[in-house]
Structure 1
Amino acid sequence: MSVHAFVDESRRNDTYYLAAAVVRPGDLRSLRSGLRRLLFPGQRELHFCKEKQARRKLLLAKVVELGARVDVYRSNCRQGEERARQECLARLAEDLLDLKGHRLVLDSRQDRDFLDAHTIRRVLDKYPEQSRLVYEHCASFDEPLLWLADIAAWCTGAGGEWARRAAPVIGSVIRLDWP
C-alpha cells in the first residue's frame, strides 16, 4: 500500500514534535474537502495556535470525525531544535520507506528547507532500491492536509485535555533521544 505524508511541527519548552498525517491515496480528496469546509469565509488556512479555544474544540472534533491518522515524532531540544527536527525527520523518512511511502509534503520553513532536503536525501541514498518516495515543501495554505499535522502536533504538545481529545487521530507517538 502506498501512502502520502503531510508534515508540520510544534515545540513546547524543550520538546520538539514533528507530526505526519499519513494518508492513503484514495482518501486524499475527501480529507482535503472535509478540511476546506472547516474554514471561515475568506480564511486561507487552519493554524491551530491562532484559533480560540472553543473553535479549537470544534475543529478537533471535526478532524476526529474525518478519520485521519497522524503519527507524532518527539525529541528533546537539548542539542538544538534543528537537530531534534532532523532526527525526527530521518526516522519519519525511514518509516515511510517501510510503508512504501509515495509522497512526503512538508510545511515550508523557507530558508531552512534545504536542511530537510539534505536529511531526506541522506536516508533515501541508504536504500536506493526501495525508494520511490518523492518529497517537497509547500506553504500550508496550499495544502490542507498539512493542517492535520499542525493540529496533532499542537494537541500532543499541549498535553492534558488536548492530547486526550486528539487521541483518536494519533496513530503512534515515536519518542527519539529519550532516556
Structure 2
Amino acid sequence: MSGFYPRLQQLDPRRQQAFMAALCERLLPNYRLYAETTGRGDPHGLRVILDLVWERLAVRDAKIDFERQAEKLAELEPPAEDNSFGARRALEAVVALSALLDTLRGEAPEAVLEVSRVSKGGVRAYIELTEGEEDAGRLAVLVRDHPLMADENDFQDAVLEAVEGRLDRDALKALRRLGRNDGVSNLGLSLD
C-alpha cells in the first residue's frame, strides 16, 4: 500500500470531497467554541454550508450554487486583526471548508492535501501551545508522539479507508458520523 498522501491524491474527486467533508466536520467544534467565547462568527452558517456539501455528495445532481456558498463562507471568517489562538483554529475550519468548496466549483487538485495538512497543523499548534517546549528537536518529537497527533493520524487514516470503499448513502452517513466524532474536535475540545 502506498503512502497516505499518494493514496489521497489517487482518489476520484467525489471521494476526495467526502474525505474533506469528514475532516471539516471535526473542525467545526473549534469554530463553534470560538464563536461562543467571543460572540463573533456564525457556526450555524458554517453548518448549513457543510450540510449542502453532504447533500451534493449524496445526490449527485443536486442543484447547489457553490459560488454563492463560497461568498457566504468568506463572510464567516474571523476578523483578520484577531490573532488569538481561537481565531486561528476557527479560521482553519473556514479555510478547510473553502478548499472543499473550491473542488465543487472546479479544479482544485491540491485541496484534499491542504485540508489534511490544515487539520494536522491545528493539532500541532495546540500541542505547541499546551506543552510549551522551546527546543525545536524535542518539540518535534513531542508533537509526533503526542496522543492528540496520534488520534489525528488515526482519524485521517480511518476516513481515507472509509472513502476508498463503497460510497453509497449509508457509507456517507457513517462517514459523517465518524467526522462528527461525538462533537469532539481534532484538538480534543467540545462544547460540553
With the length of structure 1 as denominator, give the TM-score of the two structures. Answer: 0.27
With the length of structure 2 as denominator, give the TM-score of the two structures. Answer: 0.25
Larger radius of gyration: 2
Specify which structure has the higher proportion of strand. 1
